[in-house]
Amino acid sequence: MINTLPSMNRYCALITGGSDGIGREFALACAREGYDIAIVALPDPQLATTVRLIEEAAPVRCFSLGLDLTKAGAVEKIVDWVGQKKLAVRILINNAGLGYTGRFEAMPPSQLQNVITVNTMLSSVLCHALQPELFRNAPSYVLNLSSIAGTMPVPYYAVYTGTKHFVYSFSLALRQEWKGRVAVSVMCPGPVLTNHPRHQRRAGHFGFWSRLITLTASEVAQIGIEGMLQNEGLIIPKRVNRWVIRLMRTLPVRLRLRILKKLFIKLKDDYRYEPTRQPSSQGLNAEALVMRRDEE
């Protein structure tokens, strides 16, 4: 346990998009470290379910704010809420993120804006807005979610990889500025199996390769929290993913792009609007899916 302060003075971990997927696992991992939890996620029943889950998993308080992060004024609402609840934020995890594969022109402009807003504007402006809070509660931590795709330009994933490259670059630069006060880390996971149909479809497309580089949400969260608390700047889960990044960087840009296009052209007709969550009635479980595919 990192934090052993009495409960009323306990420091808090604020996680965006923390009600499901990787975000929920981050929240659980921070709760196990003794931090109170503050989740900001879409206002739907899943939020209340996750709050219960966290409070049952560890003796911490879990606060939740239902908010659509694509809407104007989201950052201000988060900062007001932190003030009203008197939350002592020591950990900020910018986890919420959106991304669609498919032809660039197939994505409606409103979705394009949502991806850019949530992935880039929100994470950077939230770091800025919570800076006084993070400095006051130092030593503090920021963990920003990029992706392996944020380290290379991927055709048919252009907007997502562009925004995740922003997160990667922004985080490593801010890390130097805030050194000694706030440990800023950026995490670049490969594919992660969540309950989202898009992630499951992609795993199907890439077959063997996907099996090689994919992790479950709980594995990614555990690696992320350990790396963040150990003040690692760049966290890339799984050795094979680190090799892929290194190998790609050694190749001339034109060759790299040709390889990536060849791999991702399969997903050129993939764009479709889907809700973030798969109805639980369909009983899909990411961990079970990994096991099933490993058995094949």
- Tell the smallest beta-carbon distance from residue 175 to ligand NAP (Å): 18
CB of 42 to ligand NAP, least distance (A): 3
Shortest Cβ 23–ligand NAP spacing (Å): 4
Dihedral of CA atoms 113, 275, 92, 215 in degrees, nearest 10, equals -110
Closest CA to 121 of 94, 102, 156, 81: 94
CA distance 187 to 220: 9
Q: How far apart are CA 172 and CA 216, in angstroms?
A: 25
Query: Which CB sits closer to ligand NAP, 97 or 227?
Result: 97
Angle at 12 between CA 132 and CA 84, to 5 degrees: 65
Give the SS3 label for residue 32: helix
Return residues touching ligand NAP (CB under 6 A). Answer: 17, 19-23, 41-42, 68-70, 95-99, 118, 145, 147, 189, 191-192, 194, 196, 199, 217, 276-277
Q: From the CB of 8, what's the least distance to ligand NAP, in Å?
A: 28
- Nearer to ligand NAP by C-beta: 22 or 60? 22
Which stretch of DSSP H or E encloses residue 89? Answer: strand 88-94
Q: Name the minimum Å distance from CB 147 to ligand NAP.
A: 4
Query: What's the chain's length in residues?
Result: 296
Closer residue to ligand NAP, CB minimum distance, 51 or 137: 51
C-beta of 71 vs 136, nearer to ligand NAP: 71
Q: Name which of 235, 178, 241, 233 is nearest 214 in CA terms.
A: 241
DSSP 101-121: -S-GGGS-HHHHHHHHIIIII
Please tell me the distance from the alpha carbon of residue 186 to that of residue 85, in angstroms, as a whole number: 28
CB of 31 to ligand NAP, least distance (A): 16
Tokens of 91: 């950990």
Q: How far is the CB of 196 from ligand NAP (least distance, A)?
A: 4
Residue nearest to ligand NAP (CB): 97
Residue closer to ligand NAP (CB basis): 137 or 227: 227
Compare residues 137 and 214 and give the one whose CB is closer to ligand NAP. 214
Which residue lies nearer to ligand NAP by CB, 11 or 100? 100
